[in-house]
Amino acid sequence: MSLEAQNLTKTYASPAGPLQVLTEASFALGRGESAAVMGPSGSGKSSLLYILGGLEAPTSGTVRVAGQNPYELAPEGLAAFRNRQVGFVFQDHCLLPQCTVLENVLVPTLVGDPDSAAPERARALLDHVGLGSRLDHRPAALSGGEKQRVAIARALIRQPHVVLCDEPTGNLDADSAIRISELLLSLHQQQQTVLLVVTHSEPLAKRFARRWRIERGHLRTEGVGSNPPKPGAESRPADLQQGGRGL
C-alpha cells in the first residue's frame, strides 16, 4: 500500500485537560486510489491530514507512505521525505506573491537534489491545468480558481506518491469549485497518486467512491461505497475498520 494508517490517535494539551481529536483511525489506500473525508469543524480532519503528511506526529499509532514510516526519520530526513513523497493542496493557495506562476510551481524543487527536468514538468503541468499561457504572471493577476490550479501543479511537481488536500474548493465559487474538483480527479487518474481530500463539500465528496466521516475523533464509513480495509485485515468482512472493530 502507498498510504497506510494504523490506530492513529492524536491528543493535545488544553486548559481543561487532554483533548483527544483523533481515536485509533486505521485505513489503507493503494496507488491510484482516492478517498474523501468529511466532518464538522474541530472533528479532527485537518489533524489527520497533517499526521499523514508528516507535518505533525501522532500521539500513538503509525503512518506508512510508500512503505516508510516518516516519523522514524531524523528531522532533515523527514523534511526531505515530505518534499519528495507528499504533495499538499490547502484551502488557501499559499502562493508567493513576488514569484511568477512558473516560479511558484518550482518552489518545492529548490531544496534537495538538483532536478534538471523540473522546469519541463512544470510547464507541462501548467499547460494541463490551462495556464500554459500565464507562466510569467504573478498571483495578483489570477482569479481564485486559477491560483488553486497553480497550487495543484505545485503539489504534483515532485511526482509524489500521495496528494493531500485540505478544503481545496473551500474558498471558490460554485463553478470554480466544479472545475477544480474535475481537475484534481483527472490529474489523480493520470498520475496514479494516492489522493485524500478533506472537505465540507458534499458535491466534492460524492465524486469519490470511498467516503469517510470523522465524528468526535472516530473515522467512520460514510454511505455504502467501496472502502479499503484496515492494514492487515483484508480478509475481514468489514471494508473499513477502526480500533479492531468493523465500522
Burial of 31 (0-12, 13-18, 19+ CB in 10 A): middle
Q: Phi-psi bin for 132: left (phi > 0), alpha (psi -120 to 50), beta?
A: alpha
Residue 6, SS3?
A: strand
Is residue 197 a contact partner of residue 29, using CB atoms and an 8 Å limit? Answer: no
- pLDDT tens for 141-160 read 999 999 999 999 999 999 99
pLDDT at 119: 97
Is residue 162 a contact partner of residue 130, using CB atoms and an 8 Å limit? Answer: no
Q: Rounded to 5 degrees, what angle do the CA atoms 98, 85, 159 make?
A: 70
User: Would you say residue 86 has pLDDT above 60?
Assistant: yes
pLDDT at 114: 86
- pLDDT tens for 204-223 read 899 998 999 998 889 988 75
First to last CA, the chain: 21
Residue 205, SS3?
A: helix
- pLDDT tens for 59-83 read 999 999 999 999 999 999 999 999 9
- pLDDT tens for 174-211 read 888 888 999 999 999 999 999 999 998 888 899 998 99
Question: Considering its fold, how many domains does the chain have in total?
Answer: 1
* Residue at grid coordinates 472545475: 179
User: Would you say residue 247 has pLDDT above 90?
Assistant: no
pLDDT at 195: 95
Handedness of CA 211, 213, 219, 223 (dihedral sign): negative
Identify the domain containing residue 219 by its residue range: 3-246
pLDDT at 242: 35
- pTM value is 0.85
Which residue, among 145, 153, 151, has the nearest Cα to 175 in the 3D structure? 145
CATH number assigned to the domain comprising residue 213: 3.40.50.300
Helices (H) and strands (E) in the chain, counts: 7, 11
User: Would you say residue 245 has pLDDT above 50?
Assistant: no
Pairing state of beta strands 211-215 and 34-38? parallel
Share of the chain above pLDDT 90, in %: 68
Residue 197 has, within 13 A of its CA and on its CB side, a CA count of 31
User: Would you say residue 173 has pLDDT above 70?
Assistant: yes
